[in-house]
A and B are shown apart, each in its own frame.
Chain A
Amino acid sequence: MSASRLVKEFSKGLWREIPPFRLVLGLCPALAVTTTAENGLGMGISATFVLVCSNGLISLLRKVIPNEVRVACYIVIIATFVVCVEMITKAYFFELSESLGLFIPLIVVNCIILGRAEAFAKKNGVLLSRADGLGMGLGFTLALTGLGAIREFFGAGTLGLVFGEQVFFDQPFAFLQQAPGAFVALGLLLGLMNLVGGSRGR
């Protein structure tokens, strides 16, 4: 297992296949919780945790799990870690758990996690799978935090994650805080990503 392969699998999630832009998966949380950068970060970290753990465990058990019931098994494994995250956030980050609300349990059905299990952990070793999970997770976190920051800064005039209570605008562009704003912002950001990174490969 060469280190370069490890780095490659890790780094692809950060830009080349960054979800939810390049890998259009996990849109629901990306849209729902990104009203602030802080929420985005929290969601991202939670998902990363689940992704790393589940990828590792699934990879470890990949030879034991029968092929026919693999999806059910994956879901149970993922659900177990999601319950852990649920409890941890409730215990230590109560405010975050309140604002993320429904979307923490919904990490179970986040397509990224099941998708990585199917596409990667099923076929690769533990270390590689963890690297892949970590990379994808961090990419997801980055994307969510960025999207949250944009929506928060322009939509509410604040950036709580960095500047605390400071308010930048009196009359922010509140549309971005609303549900439609989430769709439009994500759509345009996706276009921007493609513009910067060249047109998307088919």
Chain B
Amino acid sequence: MAKITYHTHDNKTHTVDVQKGLTVMEGAIQNDIPGIDADCGGGMACATCHVYVKEEWLNKLPAKEDGEEDMLDMAFEPKNNSRLSCQLIVSDELDGLEVNIPSKQG
């Protein structure tokens, strides 16, 4: 288990234990954290699981695969710390990760 903190747009903070091997997107869906749609189910094909990663975590995350940046072009208000949460696999290294969920996914 790793602790992942999701800050939702209504200024609420949700810290949950997410099983290692699941994605940050799945952690949100399983814990009913609002604001992540994940329409395509984790296939890097829709950009509706877009999150902003807290700056200090940016360099600790696995690099973006081909295609993630292309999908982020489609996301709602992408920024430099934007990631698709379906591409972030929870591991010991990500214990304590904090992400902000945007006001909308599209």
Please determine whether chains A and B interact with each other in the same assembly: no
